């Protein structure tokens, strides 16, 4: 299994289902991702791409993160490791720098900043203590770096394994939520200065397991109840019962920050995203349940599915929907191991005011037998929610016009992001394929501003060697995107 931070498969008390694909990293906020992620203020969304197992100066798995500025061409990038000038720390073997990241304007200067973790960094004698640094946005892009120190290093490991940016108290300044192997989430609020000083700090203890490989596995920020404050979804192993599958808890924001006393248990799953897919002003929660029905995970079906929980003034409502590859006109069909729902991203692709959903199936096989080649489906929002009948789009590497060719293990859809990278019209799409040629790659697909909105003929590829990532070993370029 890949040593990733983004995904954690469900585990029972007896054994893990697949041997620990461990996760972290923030998911998209409720607002259209096209409106954020702009490190240099040019009005185009930038993309942060992990290469968490990359060699750096001969150190295996030291890790890098690649920032592709709006337009997404190899000549407009910044590749960062812990050996980059101004970035705290030193590149060392197995640090995993770049596996986790979150994007927000932490110092409130109008430019997006990038929080990056190295969850396997040894801190003194603390093995895998982990570290988090913020790189600061400016008119010339990202530069420098400031460490966000772990306030309780002896009580947990892997500081920064889960990150999320959001304004949880509604003061107009982005907060940073940081997870580790403890169930306690630290929230740095009211702005963070370049010296690393925050306007305040508090903790919330999420109702998930602590210790070992546990703690929050994914954090997702977004405004579900439309009160002007971001809420937080915490994904982790359920802390009670005998079968500790992954579960999700909704924790609402308030004027004083996140209120764990009002936490609501949601459908289990690994990934989640928040956005208004039906135009009622409330953030809807989309959860990827990518396990097969034979896994024993509650709510899982053959081939995987996505579960939609519609938002309301009081938070998650009782109105839900379930979508699989057997729903409506969704292309292909549900097959064991497809992993439909492995990755999710919400954004307004066709500029109609409804958030649309990109959902990946990294285990999708091709008709000619290429296993785990991967695929991505686009479902468009509407007044009735995500539309499984009209304009559904489906892409794999054998789609006419799509660059490259489908090969076994490419895992197209290892991450996916909808964001306005070209500055025109609605959201464009970026797709990771972390297994491509054993190194990984990303595919950039521009919005065609027509119907159908995406065309494979408008797709281009950026390979790791084009942006200064070593292809020695397996860097897994494209496994995770910053959100």
Q: How confident is the model at residue 335 (pLDDT cuts 50, 70, 90)?
A: very high
pLDDT digits (tens, 9 = 90+) for 4-49: 333 333 332 222 222 223 233 333 333 333 347 999 999 999 999 9
Q: Looking at residue 449, what is its pLDDT?
A: 83
Q: Looking at residue 33, what is its pLDDT?
A: 37
Q: Looking at residue 3, what is its pLDDT?
A: 35
Q: Which two tokens stand for residue 287?
A: 């959860």
Give the span between the Cα atoms of 442 and 436, in whole angstroms.
9
Give the span between the Cα atoms of 269 and 378, in whole angstroms.
20
188 neighbors 175 (Cβ within 8 angstroms): yes
Cα–Cα–Cα angle for 24, 27, 30, nearest 5°?
155
Give the span between the Cα atoms of 22 and 389, in whole angstroms.
35
How many Å separate Cα 47 from the centre of its chain?
12
Count of residues in the chain: 483
Give the span between the Cα atoms of 268 and 265, in whole angstroms.
9
Q: Looking at residue 119, what is its pLDDT?
A: 97
Q: Which two tokens stand for residue 183?
A: 């169930």
Q: How confident is the model at residue 459 (pLDDT cuts 50, 70, 90)?
A: very high
pTM of the full structure: 0.93
End-to-end CA distance of the chain: 24
Edge-first strand order for the sheet with 246-251 is 26-27, 218-222, 231-237, 246-251, 264-266
Q: Looking at residue 36, what is its pLDDT?
A: 72
Radius of gyration of the chain (CA): 20
Question: Phi/psi of residue 154, each to 5°?
Answer: -80, -10
316 neighbors 301 (Cβ within 8 angstroms): no
Whether residue 249 is predicted with pLDDT greater than 50 in this model: the reply is yes
130 neighbors 120 (Cβ within 8 angstroms): yes
Q: HSE of 276 in the Cβ direction (CA atoms, 13 Å)?
A: 17
Q: Work out the number of other CB atoms within 10 angstroms of the CB of residue 318.
A: 7
Q: Looking at residue 29, what is its pLDDT?
A: 34
Residue with tokens 């097969």: 292
């Amino acid at each position: 299994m890949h040593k990733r931070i983004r995904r954690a498969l469900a585990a029972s008390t007896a054994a893990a289902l697949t041997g620990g694909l461990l996760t972290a990293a923030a998911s998209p906020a409720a607002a259209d991702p096209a409106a954020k992620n702009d490190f240099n203020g040019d009005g185009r969304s930038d993309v942060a791409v992990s290469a968490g197992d990359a060699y750096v100066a001969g150190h295996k798995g030291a890790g890098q993160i690649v920032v592709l500025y709006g337009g997404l061409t190899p000549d407009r990038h910044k590749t960062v490791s812990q050996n980059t000038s101004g970035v705290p720390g030193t590149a060392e073997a197995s640090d995993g720098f770049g596996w986790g990241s979150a994007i927000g304007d932490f110092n409130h200067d109008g430019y997006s900043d990038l929080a990056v973790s190295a969850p396997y960094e040894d801190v003194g004698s603390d093995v895998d203590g982990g570290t988090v640094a913020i790189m600061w946005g400016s008119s010339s892009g990202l530069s420098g770096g400031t460490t966000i120190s772990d306030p309780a290093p002896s009580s947990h490991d892997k500081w920064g394994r889960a990150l999320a940016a959001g304004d949880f108290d509604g003061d107009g300044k982005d907060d940073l939520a940081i997870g580790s192997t403890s169930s306690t989430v630290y929230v740095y609020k009211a702005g963070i200065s370049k010296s690393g000083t925050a306007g305040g700090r508090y903790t919330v203890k999420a109702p998930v397991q602590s210790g070992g490989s546990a703690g929050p596995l994914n954090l997702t920020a977004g405004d579900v109840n439309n009160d002007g404050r971001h809420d937080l979804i915490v994904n982790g192993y359920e802390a009670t019962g005998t079968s500790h599958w992954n579960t999700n808890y909704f924790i609402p924001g308030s004027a004083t920050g996140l209120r764990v006393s009002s936490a609501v248990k949601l459908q289990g799953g690994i990934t989640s995203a928040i956005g208004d897919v039906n135009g009622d002003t409330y953030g809807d929660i989309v959860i990827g349940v990518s396990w097969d029905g034979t896994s024993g995970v509650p709510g899982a079906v053959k081939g995987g599915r996505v579960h939609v929980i519609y938002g309301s003034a009081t938070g998650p409502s009782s109105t839900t929907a379930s979508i699989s590859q057997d729903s409506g006109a969704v292309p292909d069909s549900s097959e064991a191991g497809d992993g439909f729902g492995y990755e999710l991203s919400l954004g307004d692709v066709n500029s109609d005011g409804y958030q649309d959903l990109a959902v990946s199936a990294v285990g999708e096989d091709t008709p000619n037998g290429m296993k785990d080649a991967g695929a991505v489906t686009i479902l468009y929002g509407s007044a009735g929610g995500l539309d499984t009948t009209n304009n559904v789009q489906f892409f794999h590497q054998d789609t006419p016009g799509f660059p490259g060719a489908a090969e076994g293990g490419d895992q197209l859809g290892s991450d996916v992001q909808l964001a306005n990278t070209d500055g025109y019209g609605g959201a464009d799409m970026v797709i990771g394929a972390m297994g491509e040629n054993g190194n990984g790659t990303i595919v950039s697909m521009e919005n065609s501003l027509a119907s159908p909105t995406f065309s494979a003929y408008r797709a281009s590829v950026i390979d790791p060697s084009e942006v200064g990532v070593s292809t020695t070993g397996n860097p897994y370029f494209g496994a995770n995107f910053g959100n």
